[in-house]
Amino acid sequence: MNHPSPAIVTQRAAQRLPRLPLLLLCAAYVLPGLFGRDPWRSADVTAFGFMHSLATGRSDLWHPLVGGLPPEGGLLPYWLGAGFIRLFADVLDPALAARIPFALLLVGVLLLTWYTCYHLARTQAAQPVSFAFGGEATPVDYARAIADGAVLALLATLGLLQLGHETTPELLQLSGVTLFIYALAASGVRSLKPRVAVLTALPLMAGSGAPNIAVFLGLVGLSVCWMSHDAQTRRFVTWVAAALLLAALTATTFDAWAWKADPRPQLRQVLRLLAWFTWPAWPLVAWTLWVWRRHWLKRHIAVPLFTALIALVACVVMNGSDRALMLALPSLAVLAGFSLPTLRRGVASAIDWFSVFFFSFCALTIWVIYLSMHTNVPAKPAANIARLAPGFEPLFSVPALVFAVAGTLAWLWLVRWRAGRNREELWRSLVLPASGVALGWLLLMTLWLPALDYGRSERPLVQRLSRYLPYGVCLEAHGLPRSEMAALEVHGGFQVYASHALYPPRCDYLLVRGGRSAPEPGGWTLLGRAQRPTDRSDFTYVFRRHGADED
């Protein structure tokens, strides 16, 4: 049964976002954080450790190791990063070389989100109501405007900001999800591209550590294609089934099958994560699901809705994993795009005013603290930084200041432009949220980058530990997180072996993670301890084996 469309859109409202401003906005989002920093602790430096181990020949292609331990999941992300490290070994820092392909993947996610929404908005069920005397938006212009809004919604989403700029397997998984929903969206209008996309998407996810999600996505794809009224989309079932088979073979080849479910998920924690991680997309998604409630089984709603639900369920069963929830963001952005034709003017104005005040306040705060770091005026922010990050010395950079000033002036111009005109374009209510997020990220990655790198990098800890250790020595590690072991290998050049690694060699030096009181392992002599500058209670203790030669 065909239900009427809730979208009423004039041709004037379906004007597309000018391409140069959109490209500049995407560049301001993607490029900051690519240069001038170390891999940050936790997952970022751990993944880089595996890539560095492969690129330098410390482990073989099928068995990358950090601390003598293998990775959890597929190998494709580590092969990708190691390949770029080897490719640019003579011209680029390894950390920068490893980030290049992941920055390109982020660009691909934005591009594929646009095309996914474009193809879904071109379907018959997604078209706006036709006017009695003409003047409604043409299908192509309408689809372009909706797709522009979806990209803006994705850029505005808070959850993508940091995780989207890391060199972790989840970014490859995100690319696979976006490639998959693009394949389903384009299955009714194209032949070769969606076939190649779906045959790539699911194996890509399986080979990067998410085979179970790939299988469930494939089942959703089979159901959506099977129930479609479009004959070409129904025939796409064969290609989805082939992609499922390839994904299963890939996961088996990489021995990537693993169930990471938590038997007691904390629903309150999941809801809290969902509220801020998917902001501001989730209110728009809720509105989309309400106004398009009679179209849930139509492809323009079913594809993003049910693929997003797979990621949401994965987040819940993994006890609030933000990295699982990130896989829902492209689908949520597409759903948010379909809210725009039905969004009331008062809601759009509220979004604009909230964005202006919130992001202007954030930008002002960043500038005030930056000035305090370099001029000590006002004095309190600089004192707080000295207390939170002892030993940090502010570094002045002219290029960073120039980019920060340019971004701030662009924001002020955009606010004036948005407030001074009565815009009718569909995407108008998402311009300020997306630009505000990009501005905040740009300012953080220029004005605050030295301070953030000092606090988030493992390099200061490695430098402090190196005072007690000969260069390149073999280290046995007890209780150290994998990120710290990766940093010791990457930044310090040490040979690190976790205490539970398979066949660890006999090392003359031992590192133990502990509190303020030193552990007392038998047969070892305490040499000293060190901690990160921003830590207060966690220490890493250095021991030498009794009878070992001093270097």
Predicted confidence (pLDDT) per residue in 241-253, tens digit:
999 999 999 999 9
The mean pLDDT of the chain is 92
**Residue 551: band (very low, low, confident or very high) from pLDDT cuts 50, 70, 90:** low
Query: Is the confidence at residue 422, as pLDDT, over 60?
Result: no
The C-alpha atoms of residue 338 and residue 116 are separated, in whole angstroms, by 12
Q: What would the pLDDT profile of 136-176 be if each residue is shown by its tens digit?
A: 889 999 999 999 999 999 999 999 999 999 999 999 999 99
More confident residue, 475 or 8: 475
pLDDT for 415 beyond 80: yes
Average pLDDT over residues 39-59: 95
**Token match 């047969």: residue?**
523
Count the residues in the chain.
551
pLDDT at residue 135 tops 60: yes
**Mean predicted confidence (pLDDT) in 394-407:** 96
Q: What is the dihedral of CA 470, 475, 480, 485, to 10 degrees?
A: 80
Residue type, position 427, single letter: W
**What is the average pLDDT across 36-47?**
94
Residue 423 has pLDDT above 80, yes or no: no
Region 287-305 average pLDDT = 94
Residue-level pLDDT at 503? 82
pLDDT at 3 > cutoff 80 = no
Q: How far is CA 208 from CA 34, 106, 111, 176, 251, in A?
A: 22, 16, 21, 9, 9
Is the pLDDT confidence value at 260 over 90?
A: no
Per-residue confidence (pLDDT) for residue 1, from 0 to 100: 56
Mean pLDDT throughout 399-421? 91
pTM of the model: 0.95
Residue 50, pLDDT above cutoff 90: yes
Q: Helix %, strand %, coil % for the chain, to 5?
A: 60, 5, 35
Provide the pLDDT for residue 357: 94
| pLDDT at residue number 133 | 67
Average pLDDT over residues 183-208: 94
Whether 206 has a pLDDT exceeding 70, the answer reads: yes
Q: Looking at the DSSP assignment, which residues form a beta bridge with residue 545? A: 524
Whether the per-residue pLDDT at 548 is higher than 80: the answer is no
pLDDT tens digits, 349-373: 889 889 999 999 999 999 999 999 9
Q: Cβ contacts of residue 168 below 8 Å, gap of 6+?
A: 43, 44, 47, 77, 102, 323
pLDDT band with cut points at 50, 70 and 90 for residue 52: very high
Find the mean pLDDT for residues 294-308: 95
What percentage of the chain carries pLDDT values higher than 90? 78
pLDDT tens digit sequence for 82-96: 999 999 998 999 999
Residue 258: its pLDDT value, please?
Answer: 80
> Is a pLDDT exceeding 90 seen at residue 255?
no
Q: According to the model, what pLDDT value does residue 263 have?
A: 61
pLDDT tens by residue, 465-512? 999 999 999 999 999 999 999 999 999 999 999 988 888 899 999 999
Question: Residues 393-398: what's their mean pLDDT?
Answer: 93
DSSP designation for 498:
E
pLDDT band at 8 (very low <50, low <70, confident <90, very high): confident
**Average of per-residue pLDDT across 215-222:** 96
Confidence of residue 550 (pLDDT cuts 50, 70, 90): low
pLDDT attached to residue 265: 66
Match 């972790």 to its residue by tokens.
168
Per-residue confidence at 421, pLDDT binned at 50, 70, 90? low
Cβ burial, residue 345 (10 Å; 0-12/13-18/19+): exposed
Say what the pLDDT of residue 122 is.
Answer: 94
Burial 385-396 (b: 16+ CB within 10 A, else e): beeebeebeeee
Q: What pLDDT shows up at residue 332?
A: 98
8 A C-beta contact, residue 455 and residue 389: yes
Q: In the predicted model, what is the mean pLDDT of residues 394-420?
A: 92
Is residue 525 scored above 90 in pLDDT? yes
Each residue's pLDDT tens digit, 68-83? 999 988 899 999 999 9
